[in-house]
Structure 1
Amino acid sequence: MAATESGVACDAPGVSPSAPRLLMTVTNIRHAGGNITFTLYGDDPAKFLAHHGSIDIMRVPVTANSVQGCFALSGPGTYAVAIYDDANNNHRFDKTFLGLPAEDYGFSNNPRNLLAPPGFHAVAFTVTAAGAHITMSLHPF
């Protein structure tokens, strides 16, 4: 299994050991327990936040106020990541009866005006052949 310089395991079946890796750090976790869910999207804006539109999903147990995850990518390109703190570990992004987020969440590029989900271009970033490291912060609604 490949590992990043930080020691985070980063491997995927069928992905070359020399393929780029995306190392992600999540900060501002307000409690221990549950999982941070990372959802990776490719370069198609129509698939961003769409049901079955993601490339990959990963869940990392919360053991501190920050966690790291890593995706082994098929190649360089444009990507976007959405995260949420699955505090109750039900593998769903919970919402209130009004449809508002009930769990902390965030996106790549850390967009600030989150009265509505951001568009793909606000959260998209480029991964080179050397890989990338991004930091995302969780925010309550």
Structure 2
Amino acid sequence: MAGLIVAASPATAADDGAGPSSATTLSVQVSQLSSTAGEVVVTLYPSDPRRSLAPRGKLLSLRAMAILPATRVCFNLPGPDVYAVAVYHDANANEDFDRNRVGMPVEGFGFSNDAPTRFGRPSFDAARFAVKSGENALRVKMRYQR
């Protein structure tokens, strides 16, 4: 499924969302961005651990203009379930998560639950969170490797 660009001011949640209209929504607030350059990409993964954070495993993805102090996007979800979220700050808006020659990220990133990373992506269990019917909110902190 293709996502659409959704941006909102820090004081209000996004009115539109990715996915068909639903009674179950998830508002994701991404904070600690280093700048307003480029876009923030928020990707939602389903409860299947094999699809979590895997190429072509996403359920929905949104790109939003980077806004300080926080960028918000909203997803319309299929229903209550367990999900995981990954975010990155596409500061140069090239639609790619840039890495250096040894594979280390050169752009900001983050995961639901502030799931820890050492080498590579976190486990699904570390990033998973439950969503109930109705409105749900999640906060993700952007991390930058220096």
TM-score by length of 2: 0.85
Aligned to 1:100: 104
Aligned to 2:79: 75
Contact map agreement 1:36 1:59 (CA 8 A) in 2: yes
State whether structure 2 residue 137 is matched by structure 1 residue 140: no
**Equivalent-residue separation in structure 1 for 2:18 and 2:72 (angstroms):** 16
Contact map agreement 2:19 2:60 (CA 8 A) in 1: no
Aligned to 1:114: 117
Contact map agreement 2:18 2:74 (CA 8 A) in 1: no
Contact map agreement 1:39 1:57 (CA 8 A) in 2: yes
How far is the alpha carbon of 1:7 from its aligned partner? Answer: 3.9
State whether structure 2 residue 35 is matched by structure 1 residue 31: yes
Identity fraction in percent: 32
State whether structure 2 residue 45 is matched by structure 1 residue 41: yes
How far is the alpha carbon of 1:68 from its aligned partner? Answer: 0.6
How far is the alpha carbon of 1:109 from its aligned partner? Answer: 0.4
How far is the alpha carbon of 1:12 from its aligned partner? Answer: 4.4
- 4+ residue stretches of structure 1 with deviation over 4 A? none
TM-score by length of 1: 0.88
How far is the alpha carbon of 1:13 from its aligned partner? Answer: 5.5
How far is the alpha carbon of 1:20 from its aligned partner? Answer: 0.6
Q: How many residues are paired up?
A: 134
Q: What do residues 68-117 of structure 1 show as CA deviations (whole Å, max 9, x unaligned)? A: 11100011100000000000001111111101111110000012x32121
Q: What do residues 104-135 of structure 1 show as CA deviations (whole Å, max 9, x unaligned)? A: 10000012x32121100101000001231010
Q: What do residues 4-58 of structure 1 show as CA deviations (whole Å, max 9, x unaligned)? A: x934123445333xx2100011110111120000010000111112111000110
Cα RMSD after superposing both structures = 1.6
Unpaired runs of 5+ residues, structure 2, are 1-10
